Structure 1
């Protein structure tokens, strides 16, 4: 799971050009910018600047409501609007905190973004990449993006063939079947609180 979150920040911000599809440009441009900041400033998850970078660059590029609904699966429609909001909020916090911890383990070296072939009318696309890290051999990360209006948002990430959404759906289903939707909200909130308590104060 570390690899899922270690590279969430490689997609953020949209700077489209005439000859490069917007989803590809989203990944290609931002991955370069974010890597440069990390390396230049030698950032770690304990740095305030690191957290600010995540807030500014990562979060706007993810559709957390859609991501959460897919992870919760069939139970999403059974949840009240308040429960859905709570699930999205806690899952968002969980992913960001887990990512922030994992990024310190996987030292980023570079990312190769594969060319994307898509029609102008497409509203769903996969951007395939190959990531190199100091901790091992290069491995593939695929970003699935959906278009809403003029914006492209990431709603799933697949690392070495394993989907983030599918991975969490299994555990979420087990928790809901045992403790209900409120039980899942509480489980996520408790996990976030525990991680927050362990976080260094910087």
Structure 2
């Protein structure tokens, strides 16, 4: 399960890195051409940035915050993951869920970016019409060893351009994988219970990230 989550994170990272400073391009470019360009860019950055490769958590988090998050539709992702329970949440609970889910994926993205090495991405022809506002871009990650990994993206065209809201790795969609967890937690402890569970998880991840940073500093000295 941890491997699948890392692959999901790598997929979203690859599909979002290039958007930074490129809103006009996002508006004008076809979604498949855009994702292809994004993927090539993120792989080049991850391979060239020594701080990212060394696992410098501060640098990796900075990259995620600045380059990725503005161009992923976390509200739609959270809404889909919450399913029918989303309608029962208050506006405040919805904002808390979005914030905690966003933070959780930040840490997941960070762990995936620093693991990029020799992967390559190949794209398949996209099946859509020019008028479509919700599309799927299909690709696969080719590794030096092992079979290619299926990697598909769902994007929606918004007023701000195309935005990623789901990723499929090896036949499983990211949102669906979290939906069962969300539903189970809500059924036991309610929406506030889910918010607390996500918050607790994020605190543990933050502590682990801080510990890794201290370890890196100690090794460097």
Give the TM-score taking structure 1 as reference length.
Answer: 0.90
Q: Structure 1 or 2: larger strand share?
A: 1
**Does residue 49 in structure 1 map to residue 59 in structure 2?**
yes
Structure 2 portions without partners, runs of 5+: none
Indicate the residue corresponding to 2:85 in structure 1. Answer: 75
User: Against the structure 1 CA distance between its residues 187 and 56, is the aligned structure 2 distance closer, same or farther, given a 3 Å change threshold?
Assistant: same
Unaligned runs of 5+ in 1: none
Aligned position for 2:74:
64
1:3 lines up with 2:19 in the alignment: no
**Residues 106 and 135, structure 1, Cα contact 8 Å, conserved in 2:** no
Could you say which residue in structure 2 is the equivalent of 1:38?
46
Which of 13, 24, 32 is the equivalent residue of 1:24? 32
Q: Does the 8 Å contact 1:11/1:27 carry over to 2?
A: yes
What is the CA-CA distance between 1:103 and the residue it aligns to? 3.7
Tell me, in whole angstroms, the C-alpha distance in 2 between the residues paired with 1:131 and 1:108: 10
Q: Is the 8 A contact 1:79 1:181 kept in 2?
A: yes
CA offset digits 1:156-195 (Å, max 9, x no partner): 1110110111111101101000000000000000000001
**Alignment check: 8 A CA contact 2:182 2:194 kept:** yes
Quote the offset at 1:53 in angstroms: 2.0
Number of residue pairs matched by the alignment: 200
After TM superposition, the score normalised by the length of structure 2 is: 0.83
- More helix by percentage: 2
1:85 aligns with 2:95: yes
1:99 corresponds to 2:127: no
Deviates more, 1:139-148 or 1:22-31: 22-31
What does residue range 49-198 of structure 1 map to in structure 2 within 5 Å?
A: 49-105=59-115, 107-134=117-144, 136-149=146-159, 151-198=161-208
Separation in structure 1 between the aligned mates of residue 196 and residue 63 of structure 2, nearest angstrom: 28
CA distance in 1, matches of 2:78, 2:36: 25
SS in 1 for 2:186: helix
Q: How far off is 1:47 after superposition? A: 4.2
